[in-house]
Amino acid sequence: MTRLYLARHGETVDNERQIMQGQTQGELNINGRVQALQLSHQFADEPLDAIIASDLHRSIQTARILAEPHHMAVVTTPLLRERDWGGFTGRYIPDLKGEAWPDDIESLAQLKERARRFLDWLRASYPDQQVLAVGHGIINKAIQAVYFNKEMSEIERMKNAEVRILDI
């Protein structure tokens, strides 16, 4: 059994500004770096076999901070990328309320299929290991929905730098 510590990246400049980031690179703000550092202290003595991150900058930044005490490299994968928000990307979130969704948003079915592929890849690549993976709010929700066989709406939103444990 592989133990997955599923983390969300630290707070970003765009989180703070309520901007829909989607698959943009993003940048941790000061608070996000502090959150990642606090999380790295929590995991400093945890025996980890791998640290994985989405290939988006905000997750890589978080994962590198988490990897420092372990002297480990960060493995990246596009499977952990945030949901593609299409035409909503870069927009102020409160302004989106009531707007019709553009056709170019990644569907929940596509997102959950990507989450399934991530879990399958993780099981195959890291059997019986302890892995810390840094993703994003919505893809992490999809991973948990697939794991627990629930609807995404049934999964509680993850805060920045929050971790949930899944034994897969």
Which residues are tagged catalytic?
9, 82
Specify whether the CB–CB gap between 53 and 133 falls below 8 A.
yes
Specify whether the CB–CB gap between 39 and 69 falls below 8 A.
no
Residues 6+ apart with CB under 8 A from 85: 20, 21, 22, 23, 105, 106
Task: Pull the structure tokens for residue 19.
Answer: 């901007």
**What letters, b where the CB count within 10 A reaches 16 and e where it falls short, cover 56-88?**
bbbbbbbbbbbbeebebebbbbebbbbbbbeeb
